[in-house]
Amino acid sequence: MSNNSLRLVWVYPDLLSTYGDQGNALMVERRARQRGLDVSRVDVRSDQPVPTSGDIYLIGGGEDRPQRLAAERLRRDGGLSRAASNGAIIFSVCAGYQILGHEFVNDLGEREQGLGLLDVVSTRGEGERCVGDVLGDIDPHLGLPPLTGFENHQGVTHLGPTARPFARVRFGRGNGTGDGTEGAYNDTVFGTYMHGPVMARNPLIADLLLKLALDVNALPPTDDRWYEALRAERIAAATQPA
């Protein structure tokens, strides 16, 4: 951070912004401003360089071809990888999550190199597509309440030894591996299949990113009644029989 301003970067909204994922950027902004924090947001399109001076980077989901294009441009640009090396916080969803791993299967059916920021490898599932509401328990080390979100993906993501599961599902498919894991993270890089947008359903995830960026253990409290009502509604939907 510089001049007490938190720098938020929304990466490639022209390629990776499905199922309302841009709402995550809006949520981080709002949660910061509710605490009186000065936050500046930059939306970086795929024909622009990714700045390396951001504090929090957000990446959404996308269709198969835009995902391949995004991976190619992020590899060539190098800015996101350099930001990660500088300790920036990165939160990714669905296609963005796969891009942060070592590799995924692209729209041509070929293995596509990812950025290697998460120790995961994604393949294409052979069974039913993972679609529907999800309920899970976030890794206790992160100190967050249960996870609620919406998944819609064909990908199957396998975690390597240095990646921790972001959550373990009670309902839903998560990473699609059958082991109950959902998403992955290391110290400052997070990935999930959850849409929703996930931070509207789980505002304390946005708060976690803010605390990591600010290097603080707590933030001033806010009025979360609206979010809690939404969470209760979506958790109930996930637990009801189809």
Based on the residue annotation, tell me whether 141 is a catalytic residue of this protein.
no
Contact 42, 11 (CB under 8 A): no
In Å, how far from its chain's centre is CA 69? 19
Based on the residue annotation, tell me whether 94 is a catalytic residue of this protein.
yes
Place of tokens 């700045």: 51
In Å, how far from its chain's centre is CA 163? 14
User: How far, CA to CA in Å, does 179 sit from each of 21, 63, 74, 140, 221?
Assistant: 26, 25, 30, 18, 36
Residues 102, 153, 158, 195: which is the catalytic one?
195
Q: In the beta sheet, which residues pair with residue 168?
A: 137, 181
- The angle at the Cα of 20, spanning 19 to 25, to the nearest 5 degrees, equals 140
14: how many CB neighbours lie within 10 A of its CB? 15
d(CA 196, CA 19): 7
Is 129 known as a binding-site position? yes
Residues annotated in a binding site: 129
Residues annotated in a binding site for substrate: 129
> Which residues are part of the catalytic machinery?
94, 195
